[in-house]
Amino acid sequence: MNKLDTHADYYLGETQDIQERFTTKATIELMLPYCKDKSVLTLGLGNGKLIEAISKTCKKQHVIEGSQGIIDKFWKNFKNSTVECNFFEKVPTHQKFDVILANHVLEHVDDTKNLLKNTLSKLMNKQTKLLITVPNAKSLHRQIGVEMGLLNSIFDLNPSDYAAGHQRVYDINSLFEDIKAGGLNISKHGGYNLKLVSLAQMKEWDNDLLEAIFQVSKSQTTDICANLWVLATKS
């Protein structure tokens, strides 16, 4: 068992239903248009919901997952898709992809700049689109957590972060810094979803309310959104 296997049960935890209905659903809606009829590299299997949605529209999808435990729990015979148990940093770089999805990945890895510069950029050509999402340190719920004394700083890791295997929390400036240091260009960026409270406190919220929050979030300033997204391309 490697250290990633210890996080497999996170995807079966008590907040996973709201996670799927809120964060995962919104992320799928954002990423899906880029994947239609494209060759896609997806970093991380997670609970498999994103992979399943992409598999129905892409030309082909290759998934890299570092935890065999997560693969054993969540991999299915997804259409047009294959999976490889490997660390992201060790992926062979001879193949190029139309789209690379790094959905809530950068907050997990040991060396973000190294991953971007020495692995992901080598899997890209000039036309490749790299889509990145990360949690936002400036999210309203983190700011409220600081005000209530639950966090000393918006950049502190909370118990949920540790359970998920997070090593850092980004704001838009620190995310831009890592992407640029990785030798990539930023084409577009934004934020999505709004959180005032924790996911556990949102468990009973219905889908209409969650969808309304997502739609409203797309017109708000990036700073206060729960998650950040960036579309990056090769220099």
Q: Mean per-residue pLDDT for 164-180?
A: 95
Other beta carbons less than 10 A from residue 77's beta carbon: 6
Is the pLDDT score of 12 beyond 70? no
When the pLDDT of each residue in the chain is averaged and rounded to a whole number, the result is: 92
CA distance 198 to 23: 12
- Tell me the percentage of the chain whose pLDDT exceeds 90: 85
Q: Parallel, antiparallel, or unpaired: how do β-strands 39-43 and 81-85 relate?
A: unpaired
Is the pLDDT score of 232 beyond 80? yes
| 200 Cβ neighbours under 8 A, 6+ residues apart | 14, 15, 18
Which residues are 186's β-sheet partners?
232
- Tell me the percentage of the chain whose pLDDT exceeds 70: 94
For residue range 26-82, list pLDDT tens digits in order. Answer: 999 999 999 999 999 999 998 899 999 999 999 999 999 999 999 999 999 999 999
| 201 Cβ neighbours under 8 A, 6+ residues apart | none
Specify the DSSP class assigned to residue 133: E
CATH number of 3-234: 3.40.50.150
CA distance 28 to 23: 9
Predicted local distance difference test score (pLDDT) of residue 164 = 83
Break the chain into its structural domains and give their ranges.
3-234
